[in-house]
Amino acid sequence: MIKIAENKTRKRLRIAQCVFYLLQIFFCTFTFIRFPDPEKAGRYIYKTLLDIFGMFGNTFSDSEGGAKLVATIPFLLILVVIPIVGFFFCALDKERNLKNIVSIFCCLFGVFAIITFIPLNMMDFGAVFSLINYLIISFITSVAMMARLTDK
């Protein structure tokens, strides 16, 4: 990639990307999944991504409903890794367009992972906020790509 010195507009867009990726990492602490409690009818169990990683070594019977959730834990790790990768690319790449390309792919994979790994009837606030935040990041990234093409 051709290195072009960063001007004021591109710097602001890069910082905005970094802030929204940090916000995306913060959304991992919100409740992502809501599933019915097997012990109490009509009640739900709310889990954040960090709570789910605490269930990694547990074994559940099929009647508890958690066996399927434990099987998806390695895939849910992707939901935490994607914003971290996007943040570091945006924070460390100042002169090349690589941060924008990686950011678009991170947004694409993030939305795909949320929609694929979390059923729509089990989505909670964290998942919805993350989807909206990924759309905002992809919009900022597309503007940053166009800002690179413009003259001074």
List pLDDT tens digits, range 85-137.
999 999 998 888 888 999 999 999 999 999 988 888 889 999 999 999 999 99
Query: Using the 8-state DSSP alphabet, how is residue 29 labeled?
Result: T
Please tell me the predicted confidence (pLDDT) of residue 137: 95
Give the separation between CA 51 and CA 13, rounded to whole angstroms: 33
User: What is the structure's pLDDT at 37?
Assistant: 77
For residue 144, give the nearest of 106, 108, 90 by alpha carbon: 90
Q: Which of 101, 135, 125, 94 is nearest to 29 (CA)?
A: 125
Mean pLDDT of the chain: 84
Say if residue 143's pLDDT is above 70: yes
Three-point CA angle 136, 137, 138, nearest 5°: 90
- Residue 22 pLDDT level (bands cut at 50, 70, 90): very high
Among 132, 128, 133, 122, which Cα is nearest to 47's?
122
Q: How many Cβ atoms are within 10 Å of 25's Cβ, its own excluded?
A: 16
CA distance 89 to 83: 10
DSSP state of 36: E
